[in-house]
Amino acid sequence: MTITFLGHSTFHIKLDNGKGLLIDPWVAQNPVCPDELKKNIGTADFPVDYILISHGHFDHIADAVSIAKAHGDAPVITNYEIAHWLGQKGVSTENLKGMNFGGALQFEGFKLSYVKAVHTSGIMEEDGSVTYGGEPGGFVIQETGGTCLYYSGDTALTMDMQLTAELYQPNLAILPIGDLYTMDPRAAAMACKFLACQAVIPCHYGTFPILTGTPEQLKEELAKLGLNTKVIVLQPGDITSYSNSMGER
Ligand code: NI
Ligand code: MN
């Protein structure tokens, strides 16, 4: 798979079959997403065939409605409550795939599971009220014959990651390290231990000064645990190809 980092927690994944997944669409207003990339999302290089939403906070959902409407055939996969909310906002209900924990969906070339996160999921409305956004989650993307990617979404460290490791054996994890709202680098290193993943892409840091964790700290914490998990550091706009052989331990 080919992974493009749009900045903060937003990723585009291009599977080996050419299908594109946009995860946690915070694009137009994302202060760290390069303008060039904002323009290119949805073009042939960055197709939007599926839209995945981990939870209801603005930095994960801000452009969900407009992008879902612009890509009318793309399934939008999220939890049950956010799917309902998107329908209320005018997204075609035919495309909404509201999931819950324990379930999976099979698509062309990949299987998608929704797994628990320890976080919150309220959706901030324009009038300042908060709509219940169900339980926050993460995704396991099992590419047929390819990489198994765990995108945790915003989460604290949780023992559930050991279950995720046992059930899915992810090769690669995308984990938040910024602290305050999510894991810090030390907890993220422990998550790598739980997950037994070969490689990790840190995210959800540096966007705002309050998100203080750094990839360097993650590397230090992994070393303290005696882990040789490969840390793939991406700047907003960076594109990387990942295959399972890259993360050999
Ligand atoms: Ni959040
Ligand atoms: Mn967030």
The rounded Å distance from CA 51 to ligand 2 centre is 17
pLDDT, tens digit (0-9, with 9 covering 90-100), for 70-125 = 998 999 999 999 999 999 999 999 999 999 999 999 999 999 999 999 999 999 99
The rounded Å distance from CA 222 to ligand 1 centre is 24
The rounded Å distance from CA 249 to ligand 2 centre is 30
Whole-angstrom Cα distance, residue 42 to residue 25?
12
Whole-angstrom Cα distance, residue 57 to residue 248?
35
**Domain residue limits, the chain:** 2-248
DSSP at 165: H
Task: Examine the pLDDT at 36 and tell me if it is beyond 70.
Answer: yes
Which amino acid is it at 24? D
The rounded Å distance from CA 239 to ligand 1 centre is 24
The rounded Å distance from CA 157 to ligand 1 centre is 14
- Ligand nearest to C-alpha 205: 2
Residue 244 pLDDT grade (very low, low, confident, very high; cuts 50, 70, 90): confident
pLDDT at 246: 63
The rounded Å distance from CA 178 to ligand 1 centre is 11
Whole-angstrom Cα distance, residue 217 to residue 202?
11
pLDDT, tens digit (0-9, with 9 covering 90-100), for 49-83 = 999 999 999 999 999 999 999 998 999 999 999 99
Which pair of tokens denotes residue 80? Answer: 């049950």
The rounded Å distance from CA 139 to ligand 2 centre is 15
Residues 6+ apart with CB under 8 A from 2: 13, 14, 239, 240, 241, 242
Mean pLDDT across the chain, nearest whole number?
A: 96
pLDDT at 249: 39
The rounded Å distance from CA 58 to ligand 1 centre is 8
The rounded Å distance from CA 60 to ligand 2 centre is 6
pLDDT, tens digit (0-9, with 9 covering 90-100), for 173-195 = 999 999 999 999 999 999 999 99
Which amino acid is it at 144? T
- Ligand nearest to C-alpha 155: 1
E strand spans, the chain = 2-7, 10-14, 20-23, 50-52, 76-79, 96-99, 104-107, 110-116, 123-124, 130-131, 137-143, 148-151, 172-176, 199-203, 230-231, 239-241
The rounded Å distance from CA 54 to ligand 1 centre is 9
Whole-angstrom Cα distance, residue 33 to residue 27?
7
- Hey, is 77 helix, strand or coil? strand
- Ligand nearest to C-alpha 56: 1
pLDDT at 248: 46
Give me the residue label for tokens 């090769």: 171
Closest to 152 in 3D by CA, of 105, 204, 103, 108: 204
Task: Examine the pLDDT at 247 and tell me if it is beyond 70.
Answer: no
The rounded Å distance from CA 224 to ligand 1 centre is 28
pLDDT, tens digit (0-9, with 9 covering 90-100), for 13-24 = 999 999 999 999
The rounded Å distance from CA 97 to ligand 2 centre is 21
pLDDT at 68: 97
- Give domain 2-248's CATH architecture: 4-Layer Sandwich (3.60)
